[in-house]
Structure formats: C-alpha cells, structure tokens
Structure 1
Amino acid sequence: MNLHAVRAIYLFEMARTWRTLMQSIFSPVISTSLYFVVFGSAIGSRITEVNGVPYGAFIVPGLIMLSLMTESVSNASFGIYFPKFTGTIYEVLSAPVSATEVVLAYVGAAASKSIILGTIILATASLFVPLHIEHPLWLVLFLLLTALSFSLFGFIIGIWANGFEQLQFIPMLIITPLTFLGGSFYSIDMLPDFWRTVSLFNPVVYLISGFRWSFFGAADVDVAISLGMTLVFLAADLIIIGWIFKTGYRLKN
C-alpha cells in the first residue's frame, strides 16, 4: 500500500474544501437550515408528531441524509472528473499507484467532507430542536456507510461523465427526487397501501429509515433490512469500480 500517494491525493482534495468553505460547507448548511425552518414551521404547525416524535425533530435525519447523499456524490464525481477534464488523470494512472489506492484517496476525501458537513448540520439542527440519539453507534455506522456508498457512486459518475452537464444530471434529476420521495419529511406509513408498496422500491427509503431509527428507535423498515440494503449498494459500487479499472472504461481512451 503506497500510503504516501494516498495521503498526497487525499490532502490535495481536502485542501480544495478549505479554499472554498462558502461553497463546500456554509452553502449546504444554510440551505439545509432553510429547509428545516420552512418545513418545520409550515408543516410542523399542522403535524405536531410523527410516530410519537415531534415533527421538527423527525425531519432532522432526513435533512442530514439529503445533504450527505448529494454532497457525497457531488464531491466524489467532481474530484475524479476534473483530473479527466484537465488531463492530469494520466499522470495518476501512470504513477506507481494502484486502483485501490486511487479510489481510497478520492473516495476517502469525498466521504470525509460529507461526514464533516453532516456533523455540522446535526449540530445546527440541535439549536432548533432538542435531539436525543438513542443508538449513537448505529448513527455513526449509517453515517459512514452512506457517505462511503454515495462517494463511490459519485466516483462512478465522475468517470462516466463526458461533460459538466452529465456530471450534474444524476444528482439533480435522480438522487434528489428519490431522497425527497424516500421519507425525508414524512413516514411512508402515512401513505396509502399502494404508494407505500411503491416507496419500498426506492433504495433511499432504507437508508433514511435506518438512520432515523438510530435517532428515535423507530423506523418505517426493520433496521436489519436497512443495513442489508446499504451493504448491497456498497458492494455494487465496488464491483462496478473494479470493472472500470479492469477495462479502463473512459479512463484509458
């Protein structure tokens, strides 16, 4: 394991975050705070509790997951796409650095940024509503697995994309809608039976449900199923990335 190479790429990617704090940290936090104020005030005045949890506190896990998923994908996809765009990716590929080390550095940096952001949003939310985390270790586990899974997914998108438009296509038109429809601001148990069944085909439901369970001990889906679906998504990402480096898909041509 070439730890020097991993450390160099990781620190380079993290340095970009500190140079663009407004875009990388403050902007997502402000946007999430606005979601919290608008949804918490507008809907919270009509729905006081969901599954015995005050509505203001109920939406906190969903808001954190919304930011965590979108930022993980965005950070990882841009991190690997920009070297492709400038041509510096060939220097990385020709260096004595393995595919595992490249993925570890880029994905590790993207996941670190997202986890930092998620932690800041959690701290910000605690200023608005009292929060009690029943299963802190499970919270950390879901936070890490979600950040890692979506950073790997973003890495795949960054390699697949041939332009900045494609880079934004999947996060904006697929991930964000799935997150909103995945129970971020409501419980899927509130839906009619047909639409609840349809919602179970949305993979984001399981991520949000498991993360919410770590807060309140209550969830729409059994926590074991949520964890299993998260691990399946993680494994699928790893298989695709392994195939990309084995074939050189959009890297060596």
Structure 2
Amino acid sequence: MNLRGMYAIYHFELARALRTWLQSIISPIVTTSLYFVVFGAAIGSRVQEVEGVPYGAFIVPGLIMLMLLTQSVTNASFGIFFPRFTGTIYEVLSAPVSYLEVVVGYVGAAATKSLVLGLIILFTAQLFVDVPIAHPFLMLAFLVLTSFTFSLFGFIIGIWAEDFEQLQVVPLLLVIPLTFLGGTFYSLDVLPEFWQTVSLFNPVVYLVSGFRWSFYEVSDVPLLVSLGMTFFFMLLCLTLVWWIFRTGYRLKS
C-alpha cells in the first residue's frame, strides 16, 4: 500500500480546509449555534421537556447530526469534483496509488473535518445547556461511522455531478430536508401515526435516533435498528464506489 501517496491526498484536502477556515470551520459553527439559540429559545420556552430531556439539550444531537451530514457530503463532493472540473484528476489516476488509496485519502479527509467540527459544536453546546453523555464511546462511534458514511455519499455525488449546480442540488434538496424531517427538533411521537410510519422511510431518522440514544438513552427506534441501517447505507455507498472505479464512470471520460 502506498501510504505516502494516500497521505499526500489526505494532507492536501485537510490543508485546503485550513486555507478556507472561515468557510470550512467558522461558518458551520456559527450556523449551528444560531439554530440552537433560535430553536432553543423560541421553542424551548414553550416546550420544557421531550421524553424527560430538557428541550434545549434534546435538540443538541440532532443539530450535531445536521452539521455532520451536510459538511461530510459537501466536503467530500467538492474534494473530488474540483479535480474532475480542472482536469487534474487524471494526474491522480495515473499516479502510483490504488483506487482504495484515492478513496481513503479524499473520504478520510472529509470525514476528519466533519468529525472535528462535530466535537467543536458539542463543546460549544455545553456553553448554552448541560449535555450529559450516557455512552461517550458509542457517541464517538456514531460520529465516526456517520462522518465516514456520508463522506462516501458525498464522494459519489462529486463524481456524478457535471457542474456546480448538480454538486449543490443533492445537499440542498435532499440531505438538508431529510435531516430537518428526521427528528432533529422533535420526537416522532408528536406526529400522527401515519406520519410516524412515513418517517421510518427516512434514513436520517435512524442516524439521529441512535445518536441521541448515546446521549440520553431515549430514541424513536431501537438502537440496534439504527446501527443496522447506518451500516447498510455505508455498505451501499461502498458498493457504489467500487462500481464507479470498476467501470470508470465519469472518471475516464
């Protein structure tokens, strides 16, 4: 395995985030903090508790997951799209690095950035409200698994997109709406029975629910189901990435 080549891709992508730290780091933190202040203050003054958890603390896992999903997809998709757009992807493909090393470099960097942001936002939330973590190792496992899975998803989008409009359409019209409708700011129990059933077809519900259980041991779906659905989506993304490199889809044309 060409560890030097893989590290070069990984280091380059991380360095790009540091060069654009206002957009890559500060902006997501400020945006998530505003979500917390607005929703926590406006709704929290009317809804004291949800499933025995203060509302301000209840929304913290959902807000972290919202940021984690959007940043993982955005970072990974732009990371691979820009070399395709400029034509430098052919230099990467002709370099003595395997497809696995290319994926690990780009996806690993995007997942690392998202993971660091998630931890920073968790620390920032502690400044506003007490956020107990019942299972810290499980919480970290969900952070790592979600960051990696949706970075893979973003990698696929970056290869599929032909222009900047297509690059943004999936995060804006799919990922963000599904996250808002995935129990970020509410429990599924407050929905009518029909919409509770419909919500179970939203994959983000399982991510938010499992992640929230690691904090407060409350969830809308069983923990094992959340983990199973997360692993299933990760395997699906891995299969698609394997197919892309196997066929050269939009990489060799």
Normalised-by-shorter TM-score class: over 0.9
Whole-angstrom distance in 1 between the partners of 2:222 and 2:190: 17
Whole-angstrom distance in 1 between the partners of 2:201 and 2:87: 39
Does the residue aligned with 1:111 lie in a helix, a strand or coil?
helix
Whole-angstrom distance in 1 between the partners of 2:132 and 2:154: 31
Q: What letter is aligned with 1:40?
A: G
Whole-angstrom distance in 2 between the partners of 1:106 and 1:56: 35
Residue 189 of structure 1 and its aligned partner are, at CA, apart by 1.1
Q: Which residue of 2 aligns with 1:194?
A: 194
In the superposition, the TM-score normalised over structure 2's length comes to: 1.00
Q: Deviations over 1:49-84 (max 9, x none)?
A: 000000000000000000000000000000000000
Q: Which residue of 1 aligns with 2:75?
A: 75
Q: What letter is aligned with 2:63?
A: L
Q: Which residue of 1 aligns with 2:13?
A: 13
Q: What letter is aligned with 2:158?
A: G
Match status 1:233 vs 2:248: no
Q: Which residue of 1 aligns with 2:122?
A: 122
Does the residue aligned with 2:97 lie in a helix, a strand or coil?
coil
Q: Which residue of 1 aligns with 2:53?
A: 53
Whole-angstrom distance in 1 between the partners of 2:74 and 2:218: 30
Residue 131 of structure 1 and its aligned partner are, at CA, apart by 1.1
Residue 95 of structure 1 and its aligned partner are, at CA, apart by 1.0
Q: Which residue of 1 aligns with 2:249?
A: 249
Q: Deviations over 1:222-242 (max 9, x none)?
A: 000000000000000000000
Match status 1:25 vs 2:22: no
Does the residue aligned with 2:185 lie in a helix, a strand or coil?
coil
Whole-angstrom distance in 2 between the partners of 1:141 and 1:40: 26
Q: Which residue of 2 aligns with 1:87?
A: 87
Does the residue aligned with 2:175 lie in a helix, a strand or coil?
helix
Does the residue aligned with 2:126 lie in a helix, a strand or coil?
helix
Q: Which residue of 1 aligns with 2:142?
A: 142
Q: Which residue of 2 aligns with 1:133?
A: 133
Match status 1:155 vs 2:152: no
Residue 96 of structure 1 and its aligned partner are, at CA, apart by 1.1
Residue 246 of structure 1 and its aligned partner are, at CA, apart by 0.4
Pairwise mapping of residues 211-222 of structure 1 onto structure 2 (< 5 A)? 211-222=211-222
Residue 190 of structure 1 and its aligned partner are, at CA, apart by 1.1
Whole-angstrom distance in 2 between the partners of 1:131 and 1:199: 26
Whole-angstrom distance in 2 between the partners of 1:127 and 1:88: 43
Q: What letter is aligned with 1:37?
A: V
Equivalent residues, number = 253
User: Over aligned residue pairs, what C-alpha RMSD do you find?
Assistant: 0.4
Segments of 5+ residues of structure 1 without an aligned counterpart are none
Moved over 2 A (4+): none
Q: Deviations over 1:2-56 (max 9, x none)?
A: 0000110000000011111110010000000000000000000110000000000
Q: What letter is aligned with 2:240?
A: I
Pairwise mapping of residues 162-201 of structure 1 onto structure 2 (< 5 A)? 162-201=162-201
Segments of 5+ residues of structure 2 without an aligned counterpart are none
Q: Which residue of 1 aligns with 2:104?
A: 104
Q: What letter is aligned with 1:221?
A: V
Whole-angstrom distance in 2 between the partners of 1:196 and 1:142: 23
Q: Percent identity?
A: 68
Q: What letter is aligned with 2:126?
A: S
Q: What letter is aligned with 1:184?
A: T
